[in-house]
Structure 1
């Protein structure tokens, strides 16, 4: 069987040996296996961001690629360890804790297997129950990617509807306004990315260079409300000015030119962070 790529994601960071240990386990399964890192800078325990980063990345990898995502605040508990096959032919190995929320909504999941830890567990890992990323996920992912086991060899089948999903607020038009949620932060630059698609936003009839009112609420309380420009790029505003633009995933985003919008206003992510775009004549 042809070897597939193995792509690792976690909230471990790279300040210690945890990620290297996962690489080592995968390499010991198959020395010629190609192993890549998606990111290991997911904020600790942030399942929502893990879910988003998978969705942001997965479609750019070839069919059959195996992803291992380990953001696992429930490690050692009764939460399940699963592997899924997506509608686009990718595989993801992860805790069943909501990490698959975006993938289930956008790509679709066609099959799920619960990991049989009596078979798919690093030999001699003993009674350790706190590093499943190394002992179960990296090990099983490497075995699947290298063709030592097939998908059915992961473990027993699970109903595709029977997975944990995080709450999501779907973007919609309400009273001539487009309303959605803040899906994720463009971490390095502090821009905020929404789940409002370009197609939905365009129904407001706002041309490039036009003014738009933006409001952000958290748990129903207004955090930010201001006018800004709808621009093609940051060059359409002066330094320090806010703008609305279309991001690399074809969704609407908000930024401060050469500044961090998220840091300036204390913005975070999730279904309780609601953003509204309203056309204005001002």
Structure 2
């Protein structure tokens, strides 16, 4: 290789690469081609790693809906997001919420978002009022997570747990998929474009007008309370196994502890239930109560469905008697 060519190659390199180039060049001209090949490989790998690091640094977009996996609606939301941000990191959190069940939705949104890192973005679409004058909102929690969806109460529990920093109403049509969105599918036409905008580094204050958290809609969750010798509570959720998750937090009643026997009353049905630590401590098909991984009192049946025995759904009231 001519001196002029060596000089051009030398000045095209940066940092340590120049010094390594000099060593190989002065040591053996024959080894230069191999060295240059290695340099190009390293630089190519570096660019690939930079792209991967860039993608991994992007926030996660989590989807929560009552759309199920049968219909095309989830796919359409993803299509909009990827069209606007091909490098978006989109994951499915839950699409099997009972249709229009806001109580169940509030529980799922709260529980599903707990373990995600700051900066995460959640789209929640359980929206029986779509197309009406209900507000479409983006809000930021004190945990620096972002939530997008209808202002119908589905964020009640997570707002209470994480706290609210800022709220914006999505009133800028230029940020939507279309200035005239479908009156039946804001998940695709309004919420998804906003998530993609945030994923690309957009500022939340650019998506709409800031509003006070006092103007938000909250579901009427009655906190569990002790009335005389009893606990009055509410069913937050019935899981896939038929376990009944209540809003009774750990420590509310000291007499709910391992080894004690309580009575669970839901509607006209009252059943005795031992307090246990694990499901397997119960005889097969028998009812018991225990504190679950979220710290709530759960009414369960060992390899059976407590919900079927009590004929209960989320939102129902219940009493626990000592």
Q: Which residue, 26, 30, 33 being the options, matches 2:81?
A: 26
1:38 to 1:22, Cα distance in 2 relative to 1, 3 A: same
Decide whether the 8 Å contact of 2:107 with 2:237 is kept in 1: yes
Q: Which residue does the alignment assign to 1:130?
A: 184
- Offset of residue 126 of structure 1: 4.7
Please, what TM-score do these two structures have when normalized by structure 2?
A: 0.79
Instruction: Write the distance in 1 (CA, Å) between the matches of 2:172 and 2:127.
Output: 17
Q: Quick one: structure 1 residues 39 and 207, their matched pair in 2 at CA, closer, same or farther if it must change by over 3 Å?
A: closer
Preserved contact between residue 231 and residue 244 of structure 1 (Cα < 8 Å): yes
Flag structure 2 segments of 5+ consecutive residues without an equivalent: 1-53
Poorly superposed stretches of 4+, deviation over 6 Å: none
- The whole-number CA distance in structure 1 between the counterparts of 2:170 and 2:180 is 17
| Count of residues in correspondence between the two structures | 267
Pair 1:127–1:22, CA change in 2 (3 A): closer
Shift in Å, 1:209: 2.2
Tell me how far apart the structure 2 counterparts of residues 231 and 103 of structure 1 sit (CA, whole Å): 28
Q: Provide the C-alpha distance between the structure 2 equivalents of 1:224 and 1:171, rounded to a whole number of angstroms.
A: 19
The equivalent of 1:182 in structure 2 is 235
Q: Is the contact between residue 225 and residue 232 of structure 2 (CA under 8 Å) also seen in structure 1?
A: yes
Contact 1:85/1:112 (CA < 8 Å) preserved in 2? yes
CA–CA separation in structure 2 for the residues paired with 1:244 and 1:144: 42
In the TM superposition, residue 262 of structure 1 has moved relative to its aligned partner by: 0.9
173, 176, 190: which is aligned to 1:121? 176
Assess if the C-alpha contact under 8 Å between 1:209 and 1:236 holds in 2: no
Q: Deviations over 1:145-193 (max 9, x none)?
A: 221x21111210010111111111111122122221111111x100100
Greater relative CO, 1 or 2 (CA 8 Å, sep 6+): 1
2:235–2:246 contact (8 Å) kept in structure 1 = yes
The alpha-carbon distance between structure 1 residues 175 and 122, as it changes in their structure 2 partners (threshold 3 A), is same
Question: Of the candidates 256, 263, 266, which is equivalent to residue 301 of structure 2?
Answer: 256
Whole-angstrom distance in 2 between the partners of 1:233 and 1:241: 13
- 1:208 counterpart = 2:208: no
Alignment of 1:74-89 (within 5 A): 74-89=129-144
User: Which of 82, 94, 99 lines up with 1:44 in the alignment?
Assistant: 99
Matches within 5 A, 1:213-252: 213-216=263-266, 222-252=267-297
Residue 117 of structure 1 and its aligned partner are, at CA, apart by 3.7
**Quick check: which one's helix share is greater?**
2
Q: Who is 2:213 aligned against? A: 160
CA deviations on 1:36-59 (whole Å, 9 max, x unpaired) are 111111111112211111111212
Does the C-alpha gap of structure 1 residues 15 and 78 become closer, same or farther in structure 2, counting only changes over 3 Å?
A: same
Residue 143 of structure 1 corresponds to which residue in structure 2? 197
Residue ranges of structure 1 left out of the alignment (5+ in a row): 217-221
TM norm structure 1:
0.90
Separation (CA, whole Å) in 2 of partners of 1:233 and 1:275: 22
The 1-side partners of 2:235 and 2:102 are apart by 15
- 1:117–1:136: 8 Å Cα contact kept in structure 2? no
Q: CA deviation at 1:76?
A: 0.9
Judge conservation of contact 1:103–1:109 (CA < 8 Å) in 2.
Answer: no
Question: Who wins on radius of gyration, i.e. which is larger?
Answer: 2
Q: Distance in 1 between matches of 2:181 and 2:199?
A: 26
Alpha-carbon distance between aligned partners in 2 of 1:22 and 1:223, rounded to the nearest angstrom: 43
Q: Deviations over 1:90-145 (max 9, x none)?
A: 1000111111111222221121000124122114x755221110111011111112
For residues 127 and 114 of structure 1, the distance between their equivalents in structure 2, rounded to whole angstroms, comes to 16
